[in-house]
């Protein structure tokens, strides 16, 4: 990336970000986008090329992630400013009471799944909820169709079409650029696409194909039908069509947080049925007059779908509540520090 120069429009700059700038910003800073995230530094790209920002020097950037826009001072001394995000992909950090940013300022998400052990409707529903909450377009990309016969393929596709109306579903061979041509509709100049999915489904191979990169994935292992690529960090690449592609490390666990609206939109069919239940506080188990259970008995709704809806809705409520409690604790601690400093200053003044 550093060998070429790009316009802000090519880097994904939009009116949304431009409207945040003041006259001083326009005169004294230049926009840069985070293209790589490492433990101790960020790589950012602007019209003048690439910069490395030391996180030890700029601790305010610790909470940034791939895709963020920064205003970097022309004098290289002032602290970079983080612009408001147009979209945010985040999840609960595995094993921690905090959230983890996945990507920001994304237009489209390719949810990548494969026709092997990875294929899981409930997991796909999680990714769809994540996309809805972020306000990004979701495109379901299915790889490794050669692992199943035509009847199995048709069965898979039928299940997927029942998940969400108007869901775009594309089947590709990640190694074949011709097979991936349909994906370029979302990869135009200035458009940012994030690839989401488990490890081994072909995200990196797909990134290489879309971006015309030479690196290839080794042959698929027979025991688990997975390739040998493992993405360990997040990076932005340019697609041959001009868009920006973000390949994320595979996620073994996707626990949702602050995602209630996205969940309810993905499961709008259950939400609509719930409003028809006899009791407003119906839990959709054995309550009389439950429209949701009636739909299941009539074959209009899968019990699996209801179970997943209840599971992730409860999960996100628990995760979000935990985050709120952490924030409340931080605010109380901040007030305690301010009180302590004020008290100390008062004692010194009266000494």
CATH number of 15-82: 2.40.50
Token pair of 196 as six digits: 């989401």
pLDDT digits (tens, 9 = 90+) for 38-63: 989 999 999 999 999 999 999 999 98
Q: Which CATH class is domain 260-330?
A: mainly alpha
Annotated binding site: 143-146, 197-205, 277, 282, 284, 290
Question: What pLDDT, on a 0 to 100 scale, did the predictor assign at position 151?
Answer: 87
Q: Pick the closest to residue 257 from 101, 138, 137 (CA basis).
A: 101
pLDDT reading at 231 higher than 70: no
The per-residue pLDDT for range 179-226, each reduced to its tens digit, is 999 999 999 999 999 999 887 788 899 999 999 986 544 333 333 444
C-alpha separations of 173 from 93, 117, 143, 208, 267 in Å = 32, 17, 6, 12, 30
Q: Is residue 340 pLDDT above 50, yes or no?
A: no
Which carries the bigger pLDDT value, residue 329 or residue 12? 12
Chain centre distance of CA 171: 21
Binding-site residues for Zn(2+): 277, 282, 284, 290
What is the per-residue pLDDT for 161? 84
Domain 88-247 has CATH 3.40.50.300: yes
Q: Are 112 and 203 in contact (CB under 8 A)?
A: yes
Domain regions of the chain by residue span = 15-82, 88-247, 260-330
pLDDT-derived band of residue 323, with 50, 70 and 90 as boundaries?
low
The owner of tokens 């797909």 is 206
CA angle 180, 186, 188 (to 5 degrees): 105
pLDDT in tens, 238-275: 999 999 999 877 665 666 767 788 999 999 999 999 99
- Asked whether residue 174 carries a pLDDT value surpassing 60, the answer given is yes
**Annotated binding residues for GTP:** 143-146, 197-205
């Amino acid at each position: 990336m550093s060998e070429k120069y790009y316009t802000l429009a090519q880097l994904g700059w939009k009116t949304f970000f431009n409207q945040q700038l003041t006259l001083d910003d326009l005169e004294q800073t230049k926009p840069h986008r985070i293209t790589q995230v490492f433990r101790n530094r960020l790589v950012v790209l602007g019209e003048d090329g690439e910069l490395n920002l030391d996180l030890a020097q700029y601790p305010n950037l610790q909470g940034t992630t791939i895709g963020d826009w920064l205003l970097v001072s022309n004098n290289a001394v002032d602290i970079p400013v983080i612009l408001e995000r147009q979209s945010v992909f985040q999840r609960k950090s595995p094993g921690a009471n905090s959230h983890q940013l996945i990507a920001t300022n994304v237009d489209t998400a390719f949810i990548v799944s494969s026709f092997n052990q990875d294929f899981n409707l409930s997991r796909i529903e999680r990714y769809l909820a994540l996309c809805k909450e972020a306000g990004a377009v979701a495109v379901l990309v299915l790889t490794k169709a050669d692992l199943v016969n035509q009847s199995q393929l048709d069965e898979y596709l039928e299940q997927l079409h029942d998940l969400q109306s108007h869901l775009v579903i594309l089947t590709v061979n990640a190694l074949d650029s011709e097979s991936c041509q349909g994906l370029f509709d979302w990869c135009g100049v200035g458009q940012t696409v994030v690839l989401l999915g488990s490890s081994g489904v072909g995200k990196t191979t797909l990134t290489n194909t879309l971006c015309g990169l030479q690196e290839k994935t080794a042959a698929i292992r027979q025991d688990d039908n997975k390739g040998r690529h493992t993405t360990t960090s997040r990076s932005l690449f340019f697609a041959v069509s001009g868009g920006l592609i973000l390949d994320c490390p595979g996620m073994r666990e996707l626990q949702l947080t602050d995602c209630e609206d996205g969940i309810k939109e993905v499961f709008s069919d259950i939400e609509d049925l719930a409003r028809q239940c006899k009791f407003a506080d119906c839990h959709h188990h054995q309550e009389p007059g439950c429209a949701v259970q009636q739909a299941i008995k009539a074959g209009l709704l899968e019990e699996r779908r209801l179970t997943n809806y209840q599971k992730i809705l409860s999960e996100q409520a628990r995760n979000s509540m935990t985050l709120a409690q952490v924030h409340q604790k931080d605010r109380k601690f901040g007030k305690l520090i301010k009180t302590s400093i004020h008290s100390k200053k008062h004692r010194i003044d009266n000494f």
